Amino acid sequence: MGRLSDFKDIRISTGQSVSIVNFAGRSSRSYALGNDASTLHKFGKYTVLLTTEGTSINGNMTDFSGTANGAAYTWICTDCSTFYWTKLRFDRFSTVSNKAFVSFQGQTPTHKREKLIRYDLTTVTDSYFPQVMPSNVLTLNVYSTRVEFYFNNIINGSSWRKPYIGRKGYIFAPNLWTSAANDFNYEFRDDSQLYNFTMNVIKASFPASSDKMTLKIGSGAGTPAVNNTYPRDLFSSQKVISNGNYMQVGLSASVAADVRLSFEMQKVNPASTVGILIAFALAIFYVL
């Protein structure tokens, strides 16, 4: 067939042939990516970019195509398996529609994975970041806007695990992003102060008897105020709210398990605790 440099015209595959790319030599910094052309035609622009472990990247992504599906950007980390998205800001002066959005899905458009996260112009704030995305390949769909972004592929993920007042975010079963072991264990902890943690179970499907998810919220090394195991506690606690200086959530599940969570961290409100104590005291008084 020849070298890659010999090809001047790129042709769309008819689906009736197979192309084999062989990179000569023992090592190569070249990569080949194949997409089903039918999944790309709907985008006004499609861009593929590479990154590596330990890097931080910022820049802008745009869509001024005027097409119904906007632009798509596929990011590939060649030697890591996790993206930490730390900033996403819409340029309001360059946004051509109040319906502007950016959505995230695992892998390439050809994989046709579900768009798991969508940030809209009118609702997204810095409080949604950092956000973990456990995949070596991500595709972003940008619609009718220019967005400034910042992400890193730093392996320790310490910023992801750090709580702060007002923080919001999402957690998904890894297999919804990519073909990987369907488990995680995240602990958000700050021993210097208390938080009001909220965990919402958007969806939880555990088809195998061995599938299990755990949720703990507490303070220090004592017994957690919340110590739930799912699916056992699913119907009684689809939304869990509790005070503590840590929240720990873990999943160990089969590839078919589907778990989607959202969380929020707010300042502890002493008045809410007082209200509970008053109600309890009145109940005792009434019984007496």
Domains in the chain and their CATH numbers?
Answer: 32-160 (2.60.120.290), 165-269 (2.60.120.290)
pTM of the predicted model as reported, rounded to 2 decimal places: 0.84
Q: Is the pLDDT of residue 282 over 90?
A: no
Q: Which of 2, 50, 57 is nearest to 24 (CA)?
A: 2
Q: 64-96: buried (b, 16+ CB within 10 Å) or exposed (e) per residue?
A: beeeeebbbbbbbbeebbbbbbbebbbeeeebe
Q: Is the pLDDT of residue 90 over 90?
A: yes
Q: Is the pLDDT of residue 86 over 50?
A: yes
Q: Are 130 and 190 in contact (CB under 8 A)?
A: no
Q: Are 79 and 51 in contact (CB under 8 A)?
A: no
Q: Are 146 and 95 in contact (CB under 8 A)?
A: yes
Q: Is the pLDDT of residue 189 over 70?
A: yes
DSSP helix/strand/coil, 278: helix
What is the average per-residue pLDDT within 102-124? 95
**Six-digit token pair at 174?**
């890894």
- Give the least confident one: 25-34, 35-44, 118-127, 232-241: 25-34
What is the average per-residue pLDDT within 235-251? 92
Per-residue pLDDT, 274: 35
Cα 161 from Cα 184, distance rounded (Å) = 13
Q: Is the pLDDT of residue 17 over 60?
A: no
Q: Are 225 and 194 in contact (CB under 8 A)?
A: no
What is the average per-residue pLDDT within 37-59? 92
Per-residue pLDDT, 36: 80
pLDDT category, 221, cuts 50, 70, 90?
A: confident
Per-residue pLDDT, 37: 80
**Six-digit token pair at 36?**
């089903």
Q: Are 226 and 264 in contact (CB under 8 A)?
A: no
Cα 148 from Cα 166, distance rounded (Å) = 21
What is the average per-residue pLDDT within 223-251? 93
Write down the H helix ranges in the chain. Answer: 37-40, 270-287
Per-residue pLDDT, 236: 74
Query: What count of other Cβ atoms lies within 10 Å of the Cβ of residue 251?
Result: 23
Taken in order 269, 131, 177, 62, is the CA torsion positive or negative? positive
Question: Which residues have C-beta within 8 Å of that of residue 225, sequence separation ≥ 6?
Answer: 217, 218, 219, 242, 243, 244
Strand 212-218 versus strand 239-244 pairing type: unpaired
Cα 73 from Cα 50, distance rounded (Å) = 11
pLDDT category, 24, cuts 50, 70, 90?
A: low
What is the average per-residue pLDDT within 259-277? 73
Per-residue pLDDT, 281: 33
